[in-house]
Amino acid sequence: MKRILKALKATYDFFAGDAIILGFVAAAFCAAGLLARFAHAPTAALAASLVGLVTLGLVLTLGREARGKGR
């Protein structure tokens, strides 16, 4: 069981490294998918929502790191 948890943590660290970034990227794709499917939003709006949410996640992560409250 310990090996499985270590493998999962290594995979998480490789792909995301931070829960805030991972959460905002997931939220960005969900929001873009919902906008495309139900609102039939233009491509520019989808791109803006993706870039905006990912940027917000990065800003929040950098702000937390600057305050010194890392993992």
Angstrom distances, CA of residue 54 to CA of 6, 8, 10, 33, 64: 27, 23, 22, 15, 16
Tell me the domain boundaries of the chain: 18-67
Residue with tokens 């919902």: 34
pLDDT for res 29: 93
Region for 41 from its dihedrals, namely left if φ exceeds 0, alpha if ψ lies in -120 to 50, beta otherwise: beta
Q: Which of 71, 35, 39 is CA-nearest to residue 53? A: 35
* 6-52 pLDDT tens trace: 887 877 777 767 888 888 988 999 999 999 999 999 999 999 999 99
